[in-house]
């Protein structure tokens, strides 16, 4: 039987800037080679993945503002609603925290980081949260 950590082997990365999602993925693959990565640039794609594969997510790294109409906290809320999503660590990584994460939404996140984020800091925070 798989434990929770064994079954949750996917990093969810969502940012509207494609080069940034790929950069996060390349950076994280070095230290987290045993994990899979799903990177999305569009809200609807990420939303679909959350609705179909929530049980596979080990951690979610969400941009603050995904496009003109969608924000990372909306995806975080969808993750947290499901029982399977209550224990998933969710990081908000935003260039403008005040705008993209109103005070009433901040409880959805385990950690809020302001861009630009140093790679070593992000890796350390992820290892701490995943207890690696």
Chain segment 10-55, per-residue pLDDT in tens? 999 999 999 999 999 999 999 999 999 999 999 999 999 999 999 9
Chain segment 55-81, per-residue pLDDT in tens? 999 999 999 888 878 889 999 999 999
Residue 2, pLDDT > 50, answer no
pLDDT, residue 6, reads 52
Assign residue 46 the CATH number of its domain: 3.40.50.2300
Specify the number of domains making up the chain.
Answer: 1
Q: Which helix (H) or strand (E) holds 94?
A: strand 90-94
Look up the pTM and report it.
0.90
As a dihedral over the C-alpha atoms of residue 45, residue 56, residue 125, residue 119, rounded to 10 degrees, the angle is -50
Per the structure, the complete domain to which residue 31 belongs is given by 4-130
């Amino acid at each position: 039987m798989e434990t929770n950590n064994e079954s949750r082997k996917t990093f969810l990365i969502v940012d509207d800037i494609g080069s940034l999602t790929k950069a996060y993925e390349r950076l994280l693959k070095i230290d987290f080679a045993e994990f899979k990565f799903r990177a999305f640039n569009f809200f609807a794609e990420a939303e679909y993945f959350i609705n179909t594969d929530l049980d596979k997510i080990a951690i979610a790294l969400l941009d603050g503002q995904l496009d003109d109409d969608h924000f990372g906290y909306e995806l975080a809320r969808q993750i947290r609603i499901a029982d399977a999503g209550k224990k998933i660590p969710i990081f908000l990584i935003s260039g403008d925290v005040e705008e993209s994460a109103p005070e009433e939404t901040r409880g959805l996140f385990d950690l809020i980081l302001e861009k630009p984020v140093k790679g070593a800091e992000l890796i350390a925070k992820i290892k701490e949260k995943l207890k690696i």
